[in-house]
Structure 1
Amino acid sequence: MPATAHPLSVVDRIVFDMVRQVGDTALHLGLAMRFRGRAPALTEITEHLLPRVANTPELRHRLGGPTRRPHWEPDPDFDLTRHVHEHSLTEPSDDPGAILTALHGVPLDRERPLWGVWLIRGVHGYTLCYKAHHAFQDGLTAMRTCETLFGTPRPTPASTAPPALSLRDKATLLRDVVTQDLLPSLRPNTRWSGLDEPLSGHRVALTTTVDLPRLHAIGRATGTTVNHICLAALTATLRAWHPHDWTRPDNGLRTSMAINVRDPHEPLPLLGNRVGVASVFLPAGEPAPLRQLARVKGDAAYRRLTATGCRHRFLYRHIPYRIGLLATTRSTNPHVAPLTLADVRPRGHLTFAGTTALSAHILPVAIPNQPLFAAWTTHNGQLHTTFLIDTALPGHERLPTLWCDALDILERAAPPPTTSTGG
């Protein structure tokens, strides 16, 4: 391997293995940013990106090496213009769902660094979409890249390698992986009607937007975060979508929530996939909105998600490829976890040519065998949620309405605010 090359992580290799099942474009992810005003020329976008890409070496790395031992290596012929494109919709639209759906199938050049920026002209403005391969970047890394390209530059904090783990520490982590991650996943999920139909392989993106002050008010009243509220809204959405599935209060679905497992001392922190998953139970059998919220608050508590991330960071650093592949195959089995969730937010405004984006919408990956990926982000005082769903699921077009209805019901049920929320 050349001295300037970086080996693929186990997760990177697993993602490329998934490509054989679902096709390359299914495993792309990114962010669509909508703007008012005149659409820029591609040369203007390139000029905007040029100094930012020059300071981001990860974006100049491509997949290289032999098939059995691939690695990331600098692209000796890197040309930024090959990464700036325009995509035309069949009919011009400002609907972020239509834009995300169209871009999901746009390929990336496997001979070049696996990312690009697309311009889409709308009726009353335009959209800029950053898109990358899921092996090249995970969702959080893609968001941090969007901050680099379209946000206020932030200094990279100095970090050092973590201290070596003792044998006792490693044994404890392995024990916790078995007792807190593996064994709970063996418990059967409630039967969900969403899995009754064979998947079509055709996904559409549906989006919805709500004002953040509404969620912050619910959070202050209940002592919960925006993420907890989104999980409770999704729980109520599933309950309303298939009401006959949840016959008992303890019914629900165990889902996979994406978490960051990247080591902070990595030399190229925006390169490669370092995502883990935490199992989060959505209690769709519980009829009371506030009890739904209380239960997801416990299951998605910050301390629990952080501890899961520590275990998975250790696991991905040491796990052999074939065992990692088996674990990933099980975690994406729809009868184990029928849907995946992600909460990924920028740390400031995203802008282009001095104009702040009206909204930002996540483009999730299409997980093999899973019919639904729900992801949310915040921008410009609003929460933007994307549902990437297989069209084989009857009534899938109702999801945004059901989500908004769930938030309305939760808002009415919340008591007067007494405490502040961490968001």
Structure 2
Amino acid sequence: MHPQPRTARTVPLGAADLAFLESGGEKTLPTVFMLNFAGPPPTLDALRARVAERAGRVPVLGCRVTTSRRALERVERLDLTRHVRELSLPGPLDDGHIATRMLSRPLPGLDGPPWDLWLVHGTEGGYRVVLRAPHALQDGAGAAHTVRALLADEPGGGPPAHRPSRPRARGFLDTLGYVAAAFRDAGPMPAFAARPTGVTEVCHVDTPVARLRAIGRAVGGSVNDVYLAALAHAVHTWHAKENGAVHPPLPVVVPMSVRRAGEEHAPGNRMVTARLLLPCDQDSPFGALAAVMARTARLRRSGQRDATRLLMTATPRRIAANLGKRMVHGSTVAAVTSGVNLGDPFTYQGDPVVNAAVFTDAIAGVMCVAVLTGCGGNARFTFVHDRALPTADEIPDLWLASLLELDKAHTG
């Protein structure tokens, strides 16, 4: 047993935290962060010793959800035999299999700190370290700071902090429009019209971050623009292959971090969301990229991120939580499309982290979750989809094909 991290006796859950806690129903919605390390796996005792040394730097690791489910409260001690565990696989490591297994496995109960850290290894080189925690306690950026604090030989770094700006009137109007859209029918989403099973699978594909940057630089866009455009065209191609039809623009949710400097290890979610129409009706990735850039440019110019932050902060917590559940629901959007940057690569006991992926589950009728995770020079596109979409595992390869087409045209 180890002393608890230092924090206030209780910390109220925010509106987004409540929304995530309640959206999963009987299942606790997790944030999962999987790190790929080169080198032979450490012993479980060595990993537990590192966590015991570092856990005090991350207050949320010493907290549990109160019985009222409205706040976090400190526990007296951490039992790391419960929280730091090992999984030995009988063959080579398959990241899709590991991710699916980690997503489907129940989290520790809410009677104690509901997180765990897994050391996963197989019969060949390399190993994985997987952090799992309720999304109500930690978002993707927060989880990135947590894994760095627990594991990095030289802690520090991580996702860039949000710098608040003064939003324009258009940002507030667009946020109100987003809220209104949550109470209207989303329109046709034919590729995602299946009845969800509640059972999901995870697949992925890797590419150099430099490829996305070069494409974005050539057209005056961002890595996020390129990622979303390639996803839009992947859905276009997938749907056309399945049905021979053009898919209409697809409503998705885009989470945006508002985690500021000094909040690296603050419990809960420091994020807002925006609704974006992916241009899946465009017949080329070039048209999709132009359309995505126009839509994200409006988000940036209007300051909608900070407008949403201010409006949600000013709204009573219960009302804001209910709005959050409406805005991320299968009746209004088909997918969640996120991006997290782990920051500069680091080492754990001298072993370099060579890739990373953060993801969560598809719930509340939302059929899939797409996440682009940056780790040094590597980017991993992770796609979580409901099994009601049996061929959706083709989307990562189609995403990469769209990316390569953009790369060939824009960078030669």
The answer to whether the superposition gives a TM-score over 0.5 is yes
Matched, 1:396 2:408: no
- Is the contact between residue 233 and residue 284 of structure 2 (CA under 8 Å) also seen in structure 1? no
* Other-structure match for 1:260: 257
Amino acid of the residue matched to residue 238 of structure 2?
W
* Other-structure match for 1:19: 24
- Is the contact between residue 205 and residue 386 of structure 1 (CA under 8 Å) also seen in structure 2? yes
Amino acid of the residue matched to residue 49 of structure 2?
E
* Other-structure match for 2:214: 217
Q: CA 1:190/1:396 → structure 2, altered by over 3 Å: closer, same or farther?
A: same
* Other-structure match for 1:99: 98
- Note the C-alpha offset of 1:312: 2.3
* Distance across 1 between alignment mates of 2:231 and 2:108: 32
Amino acid of the residue matched to residue 239 of structure 1?
H
Alignment RMSD: 3.0
* Other-structure match for 2:324: 328
* Distance across 1 between alignment mates of 2:99 and 2:281: 32
Q: CA 1:3/1:355 → structure 2, altered by over 3 Å: closer, same or farther?
A: closer
Q: CA 1:247/1:145 → structure 2, altered by over 3 Å: closer, same or farther?
A: same
Q: CA 1:10/1:213 → structure 2, altered by over 3 Å: closer, same or farther?
A: closer
Amino acid of the residue matched to residue 228 of structure 2?
L
* Higher mean displacement: 189-198 or 144-153: 189-198
* Other-structure match for 1:421: none
1:184-212 deviations in Å (ceiling 9; x for gaps): 55676452333332111110100100122
* Other-structure match for 1:82: 82
Matched, 1:236 2:245: no
* Distance across 1 between alignment mates of 2:99 and 2:309: 31
Provide the secondary structure at the position in 2 that maps to 1:357. Answer: strand
Amino acid of the residue matched to residue 5 of structure 1?
T
* Distance across 2 between alignment mates of 1:371 and 1:176: 25
- Count, aligned residues: 397
- Is the contact between residue 351 and residue 357 of structure 1 (CA under 8 Å) also seen in structure 2? yes
* Distance across 2 between alignment mates of 1:262 and 1:302: 21
Q: CA 1:353/1:29 → structure 2, altered by over 3 Å: closer, same or farther?
A: same
- Note the C-alpha offset of 1:81: 3.5
Q: CA 1:200/1:360 → structure 2, altered by over 3 Å: closer, same or farther?
A: same
* Other-structure match for 2:45: 43
Provide the secondary structure at the position in 1 that maps to 2:24. Answer: helix
1:62-89 deviations in Å (ceiling 9; x for gaps): 222x42x632122112233332011344
- Is the contact between residue 35 and residue 357 of structure 2 (CA under 8 Å) also seen in structure 1? yes
- Is the contact between residue 251 and residue 275 of structure 2 (CA under 8 Å) also seen in structure 1? yes
* Other-structure match for 1:358: 354
Q: CA 1:272/1:394 → structure 2, altered by over 3 Å: closer, same or farther?
A: same
Q: CA 1:224/1:361 → structure 2, altered by over 3 Å: closer, same or farther?
A: same
* Higher mean displacement: 369-378 or 143-152: 143-152
* Other-structure match for 2:138: 137
* Distance across 2 between alignment mates of 1:231 and 1:196: 21
Amino acid of the residue matched to residue 137 of structure 1?
Q
Provide the secondary structure at the position in 2 that maps to 1:218. Answer: helix
- Note the C-alpha offset of 1:175: 4.9
Amino acid of the residue matched to residue 81 of structure 2?
T
Amino acid of the residue matched to residue 235 of structure 1?
A
* Higher mean displacement: 116-125 or 358-367: 358-367
* Distance across 2 between alignment mates of 1:353 and 1:202: 36
* Distance across 2 between alignment mates of 1:315 and 1:114: 30
Provide the secondary structure at the position in 2 that maps to 1:31. Answer: strand
- Note the C-alpha offset of 1:313: 1.7
- Is the contact between residue 367 and residue 373 of structure 1 (CA under 8 Å) also seen in structure 2? no
* Other-structure match for 2:3: none
Amino acid of the residue matched to residue 224 of structure 1?
G
1:109-141 deviations in Å (ceiling 9; x for gaps): 322222221011123221111111111111111
Q: CA 1:57/1:332 → structure 2, altered by over 3 Å: closer, same or farther?
A: closer
Amino acid of the residue matched to residue 370 of structure 2?
A
Which residue, out of 296, 303, 308, partners 1:300?
Answer: 296
- Is the contact between residue 58 and residue 265 of structure 2 (CA under 8 Å) also seen in structure 1? no
Q: Equivalent pairs: percent with the same residue?
A: 27
- Note the C-alpha offset of 1:145: 1.1
Q: CA 1:406/1:187 → structure 2, altered by over 3 Å: closer, same or farther?
A: farther
Amino acid of the residue matched to residue 62 of structure 1?
R
* Distance across 2 between alignment mates of 1:174 and 1:302: 12
* Distance across 1 between alignment mates of 2:272 and 2:357: 22
Provide the secondary structure at the position in 2 that maps to 1:277. Answer: strand
* Other-structure match for 1:318: 314
Amino acid of the residue matched to residue 130 of structure 2?
C
1:291-339 deviations in Å (ceiling 9; x for gaps): 2112112222386288222122223323234422432232223242110
* TM-score with structure 2 setting the length: 0.87
Matched, 1:61 2:44: no
* Distance across 2 between alignment mates of 1:245 and 1:319: 45
* Other-structure match for 1:115: 115
* Distance across 2 between alignment mates of 1:379 and 1:3: 33
* Other-structure match for 2:73: 73
- Is the contact between residue 144 and residue 270 of structure 1 (CA under 8 Å) also seen in structure 2? no
Provide the secondary structure at the position in 2 that maps to 1:272. Answer: coil
- Is the contact between residue 35 and residue 129 of structure 2 (CA under 8 Å) also seen in structure 1? yes
* TM-score with structure 1 setting the length: 0.84
Provide the secondary structure at the position in 2 that maps to 1:359. Answer: strand
* Higher mean displacement: 237-246 or 333-342: 237-246
Q: CA 1:263/1:315 → structure 2, altered by over 3 Å: closer, same or farther?
A: farther
- Is the contact between residue 85 and residue 116 of structure 2 (CA under 8 Å) also seen in structure 1? yes
* Other-structure match for 1:420: none
Which residue, out of 29, 32, 35, partners 1:33?
Answer: 35
Q: CA 1:13/1:300 → structure 2, altered by over 3 Å: closer, same or farther?
A: same
- Note the C-alpha offset of 1:372: 0.4
Structure 2 unaligned residues grouped into runs of 5+: 1-6
* Distance across 2 between alignment mates of 1:121 and 1:201: 28
* Distance across 2 between alignment mates of 1:48 and 1:129: 15
